[in-house]
Amino acid sequence: MTFITRFAPSPTGPLHLGHAYSAILAHDLAVSRNGQFLLRIEDIDRSRSRPHWEDQIYDDLSWLGLSWPEPIMRQSERLGVYDKALDELWARGLLYPCTCNRKDIAAAASAPQEGAPLHGPDGIIYPGTCREKWRKTSATDTRAREIPLRLDIAAAGRSLSGSNHTDAKVGDFQEAGVGPNDETGSVVFTLGELTNTIGDVVLSRRDMGTSYHLSVVLDDAAQGVTHVVRGQDLFEATRIHVVLQALLGLPTPQYFHHLLIRDDAGKRLAKRDDARAISKYRAEGATPADIREMVGL
């Protein structure tokens, strides 16, 4: 089996040193295994994606000395694939429409009987308001469109584990890197962990018809990615991805989560950290070798 890695940036801002680190790592790993390094443009957020940021991605990565096969996968061209997967999950009763806004969720999650709101990979863990409503009204056969859809994670976990027990194993994945709490090797997760630390995540966002979690899983499978190299900030989301892979009959790749490049104050770099943009270092005369050295590669 060919060893395949990928770099999957969103064209919503300049690539910075953190992206350079992730891309070079994924590239070098593939090269060292006689494999392939692929590029994917994660542009499902039409309100924030810009063609000039996409062009800049190609330009910065080529300048760094990376190359990848064409054609490049772009998520905006795969909406039909995402739609079909949503149909499938909907038909199995695993999705429900949710119209709560951020304020509704914060209010419901901090109701006195709930205690302090818990946070998962996508922010406050959804308290399940619409799931309960959905069960009380009768489910229609046609899928709700133009409305966000959430995954009923408990139902998904029960169907995968075949059990109701909170400590029933739902899935696992191989971590070749390291998670934020030093997780490495075989990472197993239970039904209780899914409901308590992840909750009902949105799989179809308003105006997108998909979500990061759903697209990334379908695309990694479509590209035959065997090793997902990405930042530790996405480690917690991996359990969602493994659940979706199992539900959709897709293989689970190996994961290699890496440390995040931080600024001098120890804060992780974000898109708005233009001060660390690769293009800025280029303009100041840095070489690709300088960039490698700056990120410790």
Determine which helix (DSSP H) or strand (DSSP E) holds 186, and give its type and residue range. Answer: strand 185-190
Rounded Cα gap, residues 58 and 15, in angstroms: 10
Does residue number 10 form part of the binding site for ligand GLU (CB under 6 A)?
Answer: yes
Axis crossing angle, helix 212-222 with helix 238-248, rounded to the nearest 10: 60
9 binds, among ligand GLU, Zn ion, none (CB under 5 to 8 A by kind): ligand GLU
């209780």: which residue's tokens?
A: 192
H/E element holding 59?
helix 51-63
Residues between 231 and 250 that touch ligand GLU (CB under 6 A): 234
By a kind-dependent CB cut-off of 5 to 8 A, residue 175 interacts, out of Zn ion, ligand GLU, none, with none
19 to 48, contacts with ligand GLU by CB under 6 A?
42
Strand bridging mode 123-124 / 149-151: unpaired
Q: Using CB under 5 A, which of the segments 121-129, 173-181, 247-255, 288-296 binds Zn ion? A: 121-129
Tell me the closest approach of the beta carbon of residue 9 to Zn ion, in angstroms: 30
* Out of 230, 239, 257, 276, the residue judged to bind ligand GLU by CB under 6 A: 230
Nearest Cα to Cα of residue 9 among 66, 65, 81, 61: 61
> Is 17 an interacting residue with respect to ligand GLU (CB under 6 A)?
no
Structure token digits, residue 91: 């038909």
9 is a contact residue toward ligand GLU (CB under 6 A)? yes
**Half-sphere exposure (CA, 13 Å, Cβ side) for 220?**
29
* Piece in contact with ligand GLU (CB under 6 A), picked from 3-11, 150-158, 179-187, 277-285: 3-11
Q: Which spans of this chain sit near Zn ion (rule: CB under 5 A)? A: 98, 100, 129-130
Residues that bind ligand GLU (CB under 6 A): 8-10, 42, 216, 230, 234
